[in-house]
Amino acid sequence: MTGTGGPRAAFREASGPRAAFRKASGPRAASSAEGPRTAFREASSPRIRRLGLALIAAGLLAGCATGTTEADPGTPEASSAASGTVAAPDPSRAPEGRTPDGTLLVADFGSDTVTFVDPGRDGSGKGGAPIASVKVGTAPYGLVVGEDGRAWVATAEGVAVVDTQQRTRIALIPYGTESGPVTTGEYRGGGMGIALAPDGSRVYVGVNVPGEDGAVEVIDTATREVTGTAPVGMRPFDVDVSPDGREVYATDHDSFDVTAVDADTLKTRRMEVAPYGTEGGLGSWLKPHYAVVRPADGKLLLPFEGERLAVLDPRTGKVTIERMTANTHQHGATLAPDGTLLVVGTGPIGSDDEDPSLTVRAPDGSERVVPLEGPHEDVAVSADGGSAYVTGGFTRDGYWNGITVVDLDDEKSEPVRLTAGNRPLGIAVL
C-alpha cells in the first residue's frame, strides 16, 4: 500500500472530468430523525478517482487490487485476517424431510461446502443458526437455485448440483475449460458467477482462467453436461440472464467490461463499463464486480464505489450514470420484488471512504445506507422483500464467518449478526 491513506488516496483529485457525484453533508452524515444506522446520505465534495503513476509503478496485480495483506494471484493464499470461529451446524435443528422454505443457503468459500442456515424467528436472524453442511467441491463461489429445488454451485473443481430438499450433493460437473490446478483464494481458477435460464433448462457459469480471458460455459440441466462455451473477459465475477432468456451477461472484472452472449448461437459482444476509466489496468480498484438486470427494460445496473450506478443498455452498449451516496467500495447486488436495489458496500479503500454498508435504493433513486460491521460480499432478499441477508465472506481479507440480517421495513432496527458458514460468499433463499 502507498502512503497513509491507502491505495485509493494516491489516485484522487478534487475536480475534473471524472468528478464523483458527491455534494455534502460531511463524511458520515446521518439523519438524527432516523437514527445512526438508517441515515440517508448525500455525498461530500466532488472528486475524481484516477490511478496515479506511483501505483502503476508499484505493479499492483489483478483483483480489486493486490494489497499488503493479499495473496498473489496464482499462489496459495496467504494467511487471512482474523475472521472469527466457524459455527458448526447443529444436527438437532435440522428438520426431518424437506428443507423448509425460507432457509438460507450459502457457499462456503473458505471450505468445500454449502451451509443451510435457519434464518431465525420470522427470518429476522434472531435465534437463527446453521443446520447442515454439504460437501460440494473446493472453494465454492456463486450459487443459484431453481424452482425444482436444485442448487447449482460454482466451485474450483466444477459445478456441483445439490438437492436442497434432501440436503445432498447429486452431481459434480467438470468444466470444459482448462483453468489450471484446483486451488483456493481470491484468484483461484474455476467457476465464479452463475445463473439459470428463465425456463430452468440451462445453467450459465463464468469460468476464471487466471491471467487470461475467461469463458461462460453452458450446462444442460437435464443431462448435466456442458453443451457449449463462449469466450468472455477476465475474471467473470458475475453472470446474469436477460428477462427473455435470449442473452447472457458476464461481468468481466479485470477487463472493465460486460460480455453479452447470445444464448442460442453463443456469439459474443463486449461492452466497456468503466465510469472511472481504465487507468491502472489490473491494479485498479475501480472495476465492475456484480450486476443485476432490471426486468422492466432489460438494462444492467452496475454499482461503483458508492458513487456511481452504471446503467448499461445491452442493445446499444451505451452506459449512463446515476448518482449513488454510500461512498464505499461495492460488490454484491440484488433486486427486491418491488424493484428496490440492494448493494453491498465492502468498506473503505481510501482514508476518506465510508465503512461497510448496505445501500437500499428505491426505484425512484432515493437511498438509505445501512452501516454494517465489517466487510461483506453478497446479498439476497426474502420472498416478501422484508429482509436482506448479507454474507460476511468477502473475497479479500477481513471477512467474517456469518450473515448480517437487515430489516428492510423497519428503518430504525439494528442489523442482526448471525454466525454461519465458512467465509460465505454466494447466498440464496430457498
- At residue 351, the pLDDT reads 84
- Looking at 46-55, 186-195, 302-311, which range is the least confident one? 46-55
pLDDT in tens, 89-125: 877 777 777 899 999 999 999 999 999 999 999 999 9
Statement: residue 52 has pLDDT above 50 = no
Q: How does residue 316 score in pLDDT terms, banded at 50, 70 and 90? A: very high
pLDDT in tens, 200-245: 999 999 999 999 999 999 999 999 999 999 999 999 999 999 999 9
**What's the average model confidence in pLDDT over 278-295?**
93
- At residue 64, the pLDDT reads 57
**What's the average model confidence in pLDDT over 153-163?**
98
The answer to whether the beta carbons of residues 364 and 32 sit under 8 Å apart is no
- Looking at 58-72, 124-138, 265-279, 311-325, which range is the least confident one? 58-72
Q: How does residue 422 score in pLDDT terms, banded at 50, 70 and 90? A: very high
- At residue 83, the pLDDT reads 55
pLDDT in tens, 4-16: 333 343 333 333 3
pTM, two decimals, is: 0.84
Domains and CATH numbers, the chain: 7-77+104-429 (2.130.10.10)
**What's the average model confidence in pLDDT over 300-322?**
98
Percent of the chain at pLDDT above 90? Answer: 73
Statement: residue 81 has pLDDT above 80 = no
**Residues with Cβ < 8 Å from 402, sequence gap 6 or more?**
84, 87, 392, 417, 418, 419, 420, 421, 424
- At residue 97, the pLDDT reads 76
If one compares 248 and 46, the residue with the highest pLDDT of the two is: 248
- At residue 92, the pLDDT reads 73
Q: How does residue 307 score in pLDDT terms, banded at 50, 70 and 90? A: very high
Percent of the chain at pLDDT above 70? Answer: 80
**What's the average model confidence in pLDDT over 162-182?**
97
If one compares 68 and 342, the residue with the highest pLDDT of the two is: 342
- At residue 91, the pLDDT reads 74
If one compares 81 and 245, the residue with the highest pLDDT of the two is: 245
Q: How does residue 323 score in pLDDT terms, banded at 50, 70 and 90? A: very high
**What's the average model confidence in pLDDT over 142-162?**
98
